[in-house]
Amino acid sequence: MNNLPERSEQYYNLYKENIGRIEESSSAFINSFRGPAIEKFIELGIPTRKNETYKYTNLDTFFNHEFHTIFMPSESDFRKAEDFRCDVTDLDAHGIVLLNGFYPTITDKLRKLPGGIWIGSLNEASKKFSDKIEKHFGKYANANGDGLVHLNTAMASDGVFIYVPEGVVLKKPIQIVNLVQSDVDIFNQHRNLIVVEKHAEVTLIICDHTLSPRKFLTNAVTEIFVGENSHFDIIRVQNEHNNAGKITHTFIHQEKNSNASSNNITLHGGLVRNSTHHFLGGEGAESYSYGLFLADKFQHVDNFVNVDHAFPHCTSNQLFKGVLDDMATGAFNGRIYVHKDAQGTLAYQKNNNILLTDDAKMDTKPQLEIYADDVKCSHGATVGQLDENALFYLQSRGINKREARLMLMFGFAHEVIQNIKVDPLRERMDNLVMQRLKGELSRCASCMVKCG
């Protein structure tokens, strides 16, 4: 370990100090991944800007910080967390609250929903449903060179497990609310596994919140298996304070003729990095990847997307947008990889960004690697100001400039939001975005943190 950079060493020490405790609550199967993962982490380290996929994102201010890592909140903390209510009041969902990455100790650790669906703690599931865990855990996330994914595999203590059996259609969405609350600065990691068997249909909403004004860093990994002919939507809403770092890695593995979408809406956060990986692992699979962020002050939001066309006749679509104000910075890196045999591939990518000031900065990079010949691919990226022609068009109908600008920005953002199929959530997102664009604070009502 002599050559390990100091900051990676800090996390290695954390691992050594705590691995005993972590392994105690986990199953032997999940624990078997930890040793090799920490080795991989030591080899790869915490990504720096020399790493091509982190070229535009500097993790230093968060990873160089010394965090107190608490491995399990107390029961009273969980009780407080339970009081948190999502203020999308019309949203009728099966809810789960994670506190600092932990599944609560005070509720049923696994719940059965209609149709034989199970939702609950990953640790608990690894004991009760070891066959399902062994079939899927670690299968979709590990094949990549990101040290942070390995750090998560090595040390994540718990997370959410969702199992949707064959042929089951769940009308109500499942909502995971990730809360971070602590009186000290903390680093937390959690790991989710979602298994959707054949011919099933489910929507998952993940909301990220911070409830106390400390410095936080989250490194979360979600693995998703979408079976043949299944339909899966994941919507992530991020509304954290300026002193929070959020790194998410989402891996969606799709089987034949499945349809999956992901939508990352970043309303607020200090440093946000979302990497979304779509693996089209069967003919006729369709994937949609959406993202929207609104950033101001010194915020930084980075979306990394990787769409892997491994089979013929699959379709993928990426639409990512950003609105950057003040000194905010952002990055988009969209990769489309078409394997040699993936004939008949359709792959599209669009990234549009609006800079509201001269100091805001956006880096956008399409990355297409195509090894098949019968392929339709397109990509386009824009970074600019509001469209002057559109602005004049609105003004010429009597709408004043300020209002016209707002309408254009809202319309720009709405193009992403309109893909949310859960009506109350879509309406709420429209409202929050409008508030945010008007310069009002767009926090959920129960958010206790004032972001000045």
Partner 1 sequence: MLVIKNLKVEIDGKIILKGISLEIKAGEIHAIMGPNGSGKSTLAAVLAGREFARVTEGTVTYMGKNLLEMAPEDRAKEGIFLGFQYPIEIPGVSMVNFMKTAVNEHRKHKGLEPVSASDFLKMMREKKELVEIDSKLANRSVNEGYSGGEKKKNEIFQMAMLEPRLAILDETDSGLDIDALKIVARGVNKLKRPDNSAIIITHYQRLLDFIIPDVVHVLFDGRIVRTAGKELAHELEAKGYDWIKRDMDKNDQS
Stretch of residues binding partner 1 (CB under 8 A), selected from 13-21, 78-86, 298-306, 398-406: 398-406
For the bound state, the minimum distance from the C-beta of residue 378 to partner 1, rounded and expressed in Å, comes to 17
- Pattern 180-209, binding to partner 1, x per CB under 8 A? ------------------------------
Q: Which residue from 5, 114, 380, 411 is in contact with partner 1, where contact means CB under 8 A?
A: 411
Identity of the residue, 16 or 401, whose beta carbon is nearer to partner 1 in the bound complex: 401
Stretch of residues binding partner 1 (CB under 8 A), selected from 54-62, 142-150, 373-381, 411-419: 411-419
For the bound state, the minimum distance from the C-beta of residue 252 to partner 1, rounded and expressed in Å, comes to 26
431 is a contact residue toward partner 1 (CB under 8 A): no
401 is a contact residue toward partner 1 (CB under 8 A): yes
Stretch of residues binding partner 1 (CB under 8 A), selected from 33-41, 138-146, 167-175, 409-417: 409-417
Identity of the residue, 371 or 393, whose beta carbon is nearer to partner 1 in the bound complex: 393
Q: Which residue from 89, 357, 400, 431 is in contact with partner 1, where contact means CB under 8 A?
A: 400
SS3 4: coil
Show contacts with partner 1 in window 349-388 (CB under 8 A). Answer: 387
**According to DSSP H, which parts of 51-99 are helical?**
60-63, 75-82
Q: How far apart are CA 206 and CA 220, in angstroms?
A: 12
Identity of the residue, 194 or 433, whose beta carbon is nearer to partner 1 in the bound complex: 433
394 is a contact residue toward partner 1 (CB under 8 A): yes
Count of residues touching partner 1 (by CB under 8 A): 24
For the bound state, the minimum distance from the C-beta of residue 415 to partner 1, rounded and expressed in Å, comes to 4
Identity of the residue, 2 or 389, whose beta carbon is nearer to partner 1 in the bound complex: 389
**Please, what is the Cα angle at 124 between 123 and 130, to 5 degrees?**
85
- In the chain, the amino acid numbered 97 is V
Q: Which residue from 185, 415, 427, 446 is in contact with partner 1, where contact means CB under 8 A?
A: 415
In this structure, what are the phi and psi dihedrals at residue 153, rounded to the nearest 5 degrees?
A: -60, -40
> In the chain, what is the greatest distance between 2 CA atoms, to the nearest angstrom?
69
- In the chain, the amino acid numbered 365 is K
Q: Which letter, b or e, does each residue of 189-205 get, where b requires 16 or more Cβ atoms within 10 Å of its Cβ? A: bbbbbbbbbbbbbbbbb
392 is a contact residue toward partner 1 (CB under 8 A): yes
423 is a contact residue toward partner 1 (CB under 8 A): no
Q: Which letter, b or e, does each residue of 305-331 get, where b requires 16 or more Cβ atoms within 10 Å of its Cβ? A: bbbbbbbbbbbbbbbbbbbbbebbbbb
| E strand spans, 49-185 | 94-99, 110-113, 117-121, 160-164, 174-180
Stretch of residues binding partner 1 (CB under 8 A), selected from 33-41, 110-118, 217-225, 394-402: 394-402
390 is a contact residue toward partner 1 (CB under 8 A): yes
Q: Which letter, b or e, does each residue of 49-73 get, where b requires 16 or more Cβ atoms within 10 Å of its Cβ? A: eebebbbbbbbeebbeeebebebbb
- Of residues 189, 205, 194, the one with CA closest to residue 246: 189
| E strand spans, 310-424 | 315-324, 329-338, 345-355, 361-370, 375-384
For the bound state, the minimum distance from the C-beta of residue 400 to partner 1, rounded and expressed in Å, comes to 5
- Of residues 236, 226, 228, the one with CA closest to residue 260: 226
SS3 92: coil
Identity of the residue, 58 or 317, whose beta carbon is nearer to partner 1 in the bound complex: 317
Answer yes or no: are the C-beta atoms of 420 and 263 closer than 8 Å: yes
Counting every residue, how long is the chain? 452
439 is a contact residue toward partner 1 (CB under 8 A): no
Stretch of residues binding partner 1 (CB under 8 A), selected from 25-33, 54-62, 194-202, 402-410: 402-410
**According to DSSP H, which parts of 100-198 are helical?**
122-128, 130-136, 147-155
Burial degree of 246 (CB within 10 A; 0-12, 13-18, 19+):
buried
Identity of the residue, 51 or 395, whose beta carbon is nearer to partner 1 in the bound complex: 395
Show contacts with partner 1 in window 66-105 (CB under 8 A). Answer: none
Stretch of residues binding partner 1 (CB under 8 A), selected from 19-27, 48-56, 302-310, 393-401: 393-401
Q: Which residue from 396, 445, 450, 452 is in contact with partner 1, where contact means CB under 8 A?
A: 396
Q: DSSP class of residue 449?
A: -
Q: Which residue from 378, 382, 385, 418 is in contact with partner 1, where contact means CB under 8 A?
A: 418
Q: How far apart are CA 240 and CA 69, in angstroms?
A: 19
For the bound state, the minimum distance from the C-beta of residue 327 to partner 1, rounded and expressed in Å, comes to 26
Q: Which residue from 407, 419, 424, 426 is in contact with partner 1, where contact means CB under 8 A?
A: 407
Stretch of residues binding partner 1 (CB under 8 A), selected from 62-70, 92-100, 124-132, 414-422: 414-422
Residues that bind partner 1 (CB under 8 A): 387, 389-390, 392-401, 403-404, 407-408, 410-415, 418
